[in-house]
Chains A and B, each alone.
Chain A
Amino acid sequence: MNEILLMKGNEAIAHASIRCGADGYFGYPITPQSEIMETLMEQKPWETTGMIVLQAESEIASVQMVFGGAATGKKCLTTSSSPGVSLMQEGISFAVGADLPMLLVNVMRGGPGLGTIQPSQADYFQSVKGGGHGDYKLIVLAPNSVQEMADFVGLGFDLSFKYRIPAMILTDGVIGQMMEKVVLPPFQPRRTEAEVAAECPWAAYGKPASRKRNVVSSLDLDPYRMEKKNEERQDRYRLVEATEVRYEEFMCEDADYLIIAFGSVARISLKAVELLREEGFKVGLLRPITLWPFPSKVLAKYADKVKSMLTVEMNAGQMIEDVRLAVNGKVPVIHYGRLGGVVPAPEEIFDALKKQM
């Protein structure tokens, strides 16, 4: 059953969404992630699982279609790349305000503006600090392989429905475009109407005589009730921070120096760790898998053990702020980054850390 396939990260997202029992995909073409919708259209899931695939007129509309589907309790996703995700911020904020579960995928490219079509991690702030208006967080998963692209679709949906917080897979053009071995998740049927009614008692799928009407809305003009709603949401965020942090450690046990990197850059940094170890430097790698909730506690633990930390990012220094908050000044934290779509080589990371030693 565990057939090993070779495919792009973008294709893995498409296949995994069908297999996870998604009800609807709504998207708009943008490089470097257009293969996702192309693969879905080729797979024709509406003929097998009944999953709907629709090309929208814009990212503004596609995320609102996901909002509409989610409002009826359906498992829906949309995917895009940086400029398109900027357009989606309205819909994301409204979805948070209405406590709707959904899966968003950002295959990042270099910005700002139209930027480039090359890989980047410059949307870290936008993804983990909010992005749209209002006090909110998204559950942000950062895959570093085609396998994780496939695995995180189901995980993202599960976490999103569990906490009623939109989940985002934050990846980049490297992971989206590269081909790797992958084992796709097993087929899971789409939920029946009865299952949706049971699992989503808040959903507006048509009011049966047995319950009061459901209204999916982010609006309440009473500031005190709105404060309560916000506080309840913040309580859920604290719960997610306490229970859903995911990260991976590599040779951290005896490390004097720690590299922190996520996604594709963590793969590159792994090679840098190998090179540095070959020269006798005790270097480890910590890879946050959830960018929010951020693995702050484990970083605080390493702050007592290591001499310094290096964050490597394809941006001008964004995750470094969360690392510095986590270590609270106990160790120096420096940043090495490439901007605008340039992917760093292991040797650059090697040099950056050696300079600090």
Chain B
Amino acid sequence: MSNTIINPDNLVYQKSSLMLDNTMHYCPGCSHGTAHQVLANVIEEMGMQEKTIGVAPVGCAVFMYNYLDIDFAEAAHGRAPALATAIKRLNPDRLVFTYQGDGDLAAIGTAETIHAANRGENITIIFINNGIYGMTGGQMAPTTLPGMITSTCPMGRNEALNGHPLKITELLAQLEGVCYATRQCVHNVAGVKKTKKAIRKAFENSMQGKGTSIVEIVSTCNAGWKMTPVEANNWMVENMFPYYPLGDLKDK
């Protein structure tokens, strides 16, 4: 009804029909909401709502099943790629994706991530990298930048003590089973458009049986970073992007 007053030619934005009206628990300024919207748009545009099975992680996105109107399985911390492996193998005509944060994917679930990718499972891994554990209150993640302050490295990440930020997408791109590895962002319109294209390509790869696709989205956690949303966006551009440069790492 609300669309009737808008000439369809002039419509520049519309909420995806896959997005439910549940109030989001994400902090204002967080990248998850935008990433969810992009994801919903792609599933809708592909007409795959009835064929999609999502695997939710442990972390801030643990409740993502409250926002997207598709079937979901909620995984234990880090195990989403193991669930997705079986879901896809047992339901080969379905579109199967995992949605995981840096702690889930690159710390506790490193083994599951690498082995699912190495087997070339026909799934898409959407990887939200904000360099911090958001849900538990801003602790150090495997992707936390050198010198970056978190509640478990209050003096800043010390590489001698805590090791180096893990560039897991570069690592995954080396694997034969991975057909597509890309790093994107969603903090501006250009970024959102590129991310949407990347997720679409990843999903098409999954349905064509080309292997594992990974779409990393460098994201903000303004609450965890203790910044305003605008400061967080700027900080991400200035600090995260040099360490995690945007663009395709592999596309075969």
User: Are A52 and B90 also in contact (CB < 8 A) when A57-B112, A64-B75, A215-B72 are?
Assistant: yes
Which stretch (B80-88, B163-171, B231-239) binds chain A? B80-88
Does A65 sit within 8 A of B, measured CB to CB? yes
The interface bits of chain B over 28-60 (1 if a CB of A lies within 8 angstroms of the residue's CB, else 0) are 000000000000000000000111110110000
- In the complex, which residue of chain A has the Cβ closest to the Cβ of B89? A52
Which stretch (A3-11, A167-175, A199-207) binds chain B? A199-207
Report whether B69 and A207 are in contact in the complex, using a CB–CB cutoff of 8 Å.
yes
Which one, A67, A68, A74, A213, contacts B69 given CB within 8 A? A213
Contacts of B75 in A (CB 8 A): 64, 67-68
Report whether A72 and B76 are in contact in the complex, using a CB–CB cutoff of 8 Å.
no
Does B115 sit within 8 A of A, measured CB to CB? yes
Contacts of B71 in A (CB 8 A): 204-207, 213-215
Q: How far is the CB of A270 from chain B (nearest CB, A)?
A: 40
- In the complex, which residue of chain B has the Cβ closest to the Cβ of A70? B86
Report whether A206 and B53 are in contact in the complex, using a CB–CB cutoff of 8 Å.
yes
User: Are A90 and B76 also in contact (CB < 8 A) when A57-B112, A69-B90, A206-B94 are?
Assistant: yes
Report whether B79 and A60 are in contact in the complex, using a CB–CB cutoff of 8 Å.
yes
Contacts of A94 in B (CB 8 A): 76
Does A216 sit within 8 A of B, measured CB to CB? yes
What's the Cα separation between A208 and B94 when bound, in Å? 12
User: Are A23 and B115 also in contact (CB < 8 A) when A65-B85, A68-B82, A206-B71 are?
Assistant: no
Report whether A76 and B49 are in contact in the complex, using a CB–CB cutoff of 8 Å.
no
Q: How far is the CB of B111 from chain A (nearest CB, A)?
A: 6
For B49, B69, B76, the residue with the greatest tally of chain A CB atoms inside 10 Å of its CB is B76
Question: Which residues from 187 to 237 on chain A have a C-beta closer than 8 Å to any C-beta of chain B?
Answer: 204-209, 213-219
What's the Cα separation between A64 and B84 when bound, in Å? 9
Does B62 sit within 8 A of A, measured CB to CB? yes
For B79, B84, B111, the residue with the greatest tally of chain A CB atoms inside 10 Å of its CB is B79
- In the complex, which residue of chain B has the Cβ closest to the Cβ of A193? B91
Q: List 6 A-B contacts (CB under 8 A).
A: A58-B111, A61-B82, A64-B79, A72-B87, A215-B65, A215-B71
What's the Cα separation between A208 and B84 when bound, in Å? 20
User: By the criterion of a CB under 8 Å from any partner CB, how many residues of chain B are at the interface?
Assistant: 31
Report whether A91 and B90 are in contact in the complex, using a CB–CB cutoff of 8 Å.
no
Contacts of B49 in A (CB 8 A): 207
Contacts of A71 in B (CB 8 A): 73, 83, 87
For A57, A64, A207, A217, the residue with the greatest tally of chain B CB atoms inside 10 Å of its CB is A64
What's the Cα separation between A257 and B87 when bound, in Å? 52
Report whether A209 and B86 are in contact in the complex, using a CB–CB cutoff of 8 Å.
no
Does A183 sit within 8 A of B, measured CB to CB? no
Does B74 sit within 8 A of A, measured CB to CB? yes
What's the Cα separation between A21 and B111 when bound, in Å? 30
Q: How far is the CB of B249 from chain A (nearest CB, A)?
A: 23
Does B175 sit within 8 A of A, measured CB to CB? no
Q: How far is the CB of A118 from chain B (nearest CB, A)?
A: 29
Contacts of A90 in B (CB 8 A): 76
Give the size range of A's interface with the partner: 35 or more
Contacts of A206 in B (CB 8 A): 50-53, 70-71, 91, 94
Question: Which residues from 134 to 175 on chain B have a C-beta closer than 8 Å to any C-beta of chain A?
Answer: none
Contacts of A214 in B (CB 8 A): 71-72
Contacts of A69 in B (CB 8 A): 86-87, 89-90
Q: How far is the CB of B18 from chain A (nearest CB, A)?
A: 10
For A56, A68, A69, the residue with the greatest tally of chain B CB atoms inside 10 Å of its CB is A68
Q: How far is the CB of A340 from chain B (nearest CB, A)?
A: 30
Report whether A207 and B50 are in contact in the complex, using a CB–CB cutoff of 8 Å.
yes
Report whether A204 and B53 are in contact in the complex, using a CB–CB cutoff of 8 Å.
yes
A52-B86, A67-B75, A209-B50 given; 19 more Cβ-contact pairs under 8 Å: A26-B86, A54-B86, A57-B112, A57-B115, A61-B85, A61-B111, A65-B86, A67-B82, A67-B86, A68-B84, A68-B85, A71-B83, A72-B91, A91-B76, A204-B53, A206-B51, A207-B50, A214-B72, A217-B56
For A58, A208, A213, the residue with the greatest tally of chain B CB atoms inside 10 Å of its CB is A213
Q: How far is the CB of A39 from chain B (nearest CB, A)?
A: 20
Contacts of B84 in A (CB 8 A): 68
Contacts of A98 in B (CB 8 A): 74
The interface bits of chain A over 258-283 (1 if a CB of B lies within 8 angstroms of the residue's CB, else 0) are 00000000000000000000000000
What's the Cα separation between A65 and B89 when bound, in Å? 10
What's the Cα separation between A61 and B121 when bound, in Å? 14
What's the Cα separation between A94 and B80 when bound, in Å? 13
Contacts of A72 in B (CB 8 A): 53, 73, 87, 90-91
What's the Cα separation between A52 and B91 when bound, in Å? 11
Contacts of B111 in A (CB 8 A): 57-58, 60-61
What's the Cα separation between A58 and B111 when bound, in Å? 9
- In the complex, which residue of chain A has the Cβ closest to the Cβ of B112? A61
What's the Cα separation between A67 and B86 when bound, in Å? 8
Report whether A64 and B82 are in contact in the complex, using a CB–CB cutoff of 8 Å.
yes
Report whether B90 and A74 are in contact in the complex, using a CB–CB cutoff of 8 Å.
yes
What's the Cα separation between A94 and B76 when bound, in Å? 7
Contacts of B70 in A (CB 8 A): 206-207, 213
Contacts of B89 in A (CB 8 A): 24, 52, 54, 69
- In the complex, which residue of chain B has the Cβ closest to the Cβ of A57? B115
Report whether B91 and A216 are in contact in the complex, using a CB–CB cutoff of 8 Å.
no
Q: How far is the CB of A277 from chain B (nearest CB, A)?
A: 51
